[in-house]
């Protein structure tokens, strides 16, 4: 039985974020192979964290910058270690390599944080993103973590291409692994056009792109409401701050609902999902949930990025926010367009998000690397160079000598 160790950035919250749902998909994929899985994290427990014991997954609290991890991982001796985002790879990968050198090291990026931060910076400056934004200190850290890993999971097809074109990542170090949906459990028929009402959106308020989308909706809503005076906008999400609840206005139909016990239920009840995203990365959980519940959506090019290619979008994608109001009103009002979009949702799910297809690809990639691990690592000279840290050892030795000489001269 293989032993898997997943080192999480946070405890999984599948009802709070797409990242939490994606993590649960990975954990369940490993368990479906009959592998022993343990989830370890330095994060504090949360109110909405998933009870992993329900999935027969053991848990362990670990500490940052502490040699106790060396003892722990040496005792556990995993065959596979998955790092949840590059910060966990930075903190723990060298310790894993030292104590368990033959363990396959997998990095799950969730989304490319360097891309999200670069776009956020450009939006704040009121301009398009440049290479200077993209090639930031965050990018240097994130790309280095990818090179140091045996496999890196990339959720977005757009980011797969970006990593190869802009950062010269070898394709053999990457695996495209989008959200994994159990197609067989998706309903073939959800509520019809006439059975639904109102607009909705959902997303963790702590995630900057989600909060910015709420701000944009607050700006756009009066124009939509003027055209559809009986419509309401229901905004769901975990951890709503006071600045969000302050926007709650029942008289105008702009309703901050906060936590949703069942995101799919509230998604199905809505007629249209709105996602006016101006920046971000990865692929968007709210838009995947919309597809699952056959709820047409209106979003931006950023929102739909990496989620489809030649397939029609199940709703409307606008290139400018100035087009958003008209698209929202049209999709909400026109049953024929709405029904066609609902059909497109089912088609897109089946073509790109089938759990069985992607789970098989992940396991196959792991087995391939396992059989050729030594050669795989030899071929990744950049990764071995980045793990060597020879320049840093010289730097810190020089600083130690200088500090010692300074003390001796006193």
Give the strand order in the sheet containing 233-236: 254-258, 233-236, 199-202, 272-275, 297-300, 315-318
Give alpha helix (H) positions in 170-284: 208-227, 242-245, 263-269
CATH, domain range 3-180+355-379? 3.40.50.2000
Phi, psi of 226 (to 5 degrees): -65, -35
Task: Give the global pTM.
Answer: 0.92
pLDDT confidence band for 16 (50 / 70 / 90): confident
Parts of the chain belonging to CATH 3.40.50.2000:
3-180+355-379, 183-348
From CA 364, how far away is CA 381, in angstroms rounded?
A: 24
Only one residue has tokens 């990025």, namely 305
Give the CATH architecture of domain 183-348: 3-Layer(aba) Sandwich (3.40)
Beta carbons within 10 angstroms of residue 364's beta carbon:
11
Residue pLDDT, tens place only, 260-288? 989 999 999 999 999 999 999 999 999 99
Distance, CA of 180 to chain centre: 12
Residue pLDDT, tens place only, 66-120: 899 999 999 999 999 999 999 999 999 999 999 999 999 999 999 999 999 999 9
Identify the band that residue 391 occupies on the pLDDT scale cut at 50, 70 and 90: low
Give the pLDDT of residue 410: 66
The pLDDT score that the predictor gives to residue 114 is 97
Percent of the chain with pLDDT over 90: 88
Residue 406's pLDDT band (cuts 50, 70, 90) = confident
């Amino acid at each position: 039985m293989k032993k898997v160790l997943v080192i999480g950035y946070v405890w999984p919250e599948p009802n709070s974020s797409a990242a939490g749902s994606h993590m649960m998909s990975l954990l369940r994929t490993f368990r479906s192979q009959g592998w022993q899985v343990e989830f370890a994290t330095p994060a504090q427990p949360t109110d909405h964290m998933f009870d992993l014991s329900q999935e027969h997954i053991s848990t362990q609290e670990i500490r940052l910058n502490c040699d106790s991890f060396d003892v722990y991982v040496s005792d556990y001796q995993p065959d596979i270690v998955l790092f949840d985002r590059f910060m966990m790879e930075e903190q723990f990968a060298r310790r894993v390599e030292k104590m368990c050198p033959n363990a396959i090291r997998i990095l799950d990026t969730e989304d490319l944080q360097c891309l999200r931060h670069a776009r956020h910076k450009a939006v704040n400056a009121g301009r398009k993103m440049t290479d200077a934004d993209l090639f930031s200190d965050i990018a240097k850290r994130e790309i280095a973590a990818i090179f140091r890993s045996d496999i890196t999971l990339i959720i977005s097809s757009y980011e797969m291409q970006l990593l190869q074109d802009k950062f010269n990542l070898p394709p053999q170090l990457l695996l495209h692994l989008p959200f994994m949906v159990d197609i067989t459990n998706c309903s073939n028929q959800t509520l019809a056009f006439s059975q639904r009402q109102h607009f909705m959106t959902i997303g963790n308020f702590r995630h900057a792109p989600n909060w910015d989308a709420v701000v944009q909706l607050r700006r756009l809503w009066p124009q939509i409401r003027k055209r559809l005076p009986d419509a309401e906008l229901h905004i769901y999400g975990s951890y709503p701050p006071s600045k969000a609840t302050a926007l709650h206005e029942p008289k105008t139909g702009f309703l901050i609902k906060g936590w949703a016990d069942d995101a799919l239920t509230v998604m199905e009840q809505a007629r249209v999902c709105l996602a006016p995203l101006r920046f971000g990365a990865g692929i968007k959980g709210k838009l995947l949930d919309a597809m699952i519940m056959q709820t047409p959506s209106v979003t931006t090019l950023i929102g739909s990025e990496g989620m489809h290619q030649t397939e029609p979008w199940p709703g409307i994608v606008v290139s400018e926010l100035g087009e958003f109001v008209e698209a929202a009103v049209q999709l909400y009002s026109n049953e024929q367009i709405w029904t066609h979009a609902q059909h497109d949702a089912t088609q897109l799910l089946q073509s790109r998000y089938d759990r069985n297809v992607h789970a098989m690809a992940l396991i196959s990639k792991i087995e391939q690397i396992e059989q050729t691990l030594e050669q795989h690592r030899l071929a990744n000279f950049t990764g071995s160079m980045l793990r060597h840290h020879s320049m840093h050892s010289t730097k810190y030795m020089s600083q130690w000598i200088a500090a010692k000489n300074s003390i001796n001269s006193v």
